[in-house]
Homo-oligomer: A and B are copies of this chain.
């Protein structure tokens, strides 16, 4: 690849779901795209995520703007998945059984009622359930259940399958992928197209998209006014081999208690997440983090006590200063940003991909992206 050839097309920095999905959208519209990933694609936050598509049940953690973007992305999700599965030839375990919000003590019940009120105020399709109905819906829940609500709108996907499918679709659409290619610096010179250094190699392009997740805020060569204010928000997670107990194959819905969530996957894994920690890029598990996940899971679904523990891991959500994504064009011509997706990267990938691709190819931001502009900081 020469700089001259690349200057006609788009360069994407970061191979998580966001970079891959934008790359796929661009490539299938005929745009020459090259994606640079420091390691292997989708091994950071995209790999760590549980894959809940939960604009309604995550509402307590969101600004209204994020809710709007989440709902837009939910609207796009079925078609996005259908096209992706067709393009990649693989299934991404998109599931629509919905989510239960539950509580097992008075404090949490008060909190659940409070959130439910807010959800209903926002006209979100969440309804209160009797304990009996909730136990009928998910018989694996603990008999200490004291309150429950159901949201049929919240769906889920397997983020690891999603990433693999996006990589396949991107490559099949003609995208160029360079893994193990770490961008060490941005090179932004007035009157010239944006460029990056990858080791000794200078790569420039007509358009450059910074989509490096939690690393988006720490790349060299970005002046402060262009640097997205993104930091890593650490999460610890674990998974059980749910299939080891036959009755648990009927555990179908996402279950959320205030402290944790549990997400059953079609391959027999039960994912439990997640801590939310300001620890920089510290990848280590901690005693307390894993303890809280195990405790919360056991109190919700007693049978997890006997389940084989499959995997434990950590990841870094890209958190922005105001917890909303940063999506749009920067003040430097040709330099775009799509990062800061925090807890909702898997959810908002379709909206990010569709609308960022429009912005980048057509030059005008769709209305929905305007509140997320990098200019706001």
Are A298 and B305 closer than 8 Å at their CB atoms? no
Q: In the assembled complex, which residues on chain B have CB atoms less than 8 Å from the CB atom of A306?
A: 286-288
Q: Count copies of this chain in the complex.
A: 2
Secondary structure type dominating chain A contacts: helix
Determine which of B240, B241, B284 lies in contact with A241 in the assembled complex, contact meaning CB atoms within 8 Å. Answer: B284
Taking the closest CB of chain B, its distance from the CB of A263, in whole angstroms, is 15
Residues facing B in A264-286 (CB within 8 A) are: 284-286
| Nearest neighbor of A303 in chain B, beta-carbon distance | B287
| Nearest neighbor of A240 in chain B, beta-carbon distance | B287
Q: Identify which of A240, A287, A304, A307 gathers the most chain B CB atoms within 10 Å of its CB.
A: A287
Taking the closest CB of chain B, its distance from the CB of A124, in whole angstroms, is 32
Interface residues on A, range: 20 to 34
Residues facing B in A238-279 (CB within 8 A) are: 240-241, 244
| Nearest neighbor of A270 in chain B, beta-carbon distance | B287
Determine which of B284, B285, B294 lies in contact with A287 in the assembled complex, contact meaning CB atoms within 8 Å. Answer: B294
Are A297 and B305 closer than 8 Å at their CB atoms? no
- Report the bound CA distance from A245 to B129 in whole Å: 46
- Report the bound CA distance from A89 to B116 in whole Å: 67
Residues facing B in A309-365 (CB within 8 A) are: 309, 312
- Report the bound CA distance from A249 to B285 in whole Å: 20
Taking the closest CB of chain B, its distance from the CB of A245, in whole angstroms, is 11
Q: In the assembled complex, which residues on chain B have CB atoms less than 8 Å from the CB atom of A304?
A: 287-288
A227 at the interface (CB under 8 A from B): no
Q: In the assembled complex, which residues on chain B have CB atoms less than 8 Å from the CB atom of A67?
A: none
| Nearest neighbor of A304 in chain B, beta-carbon distance | B287
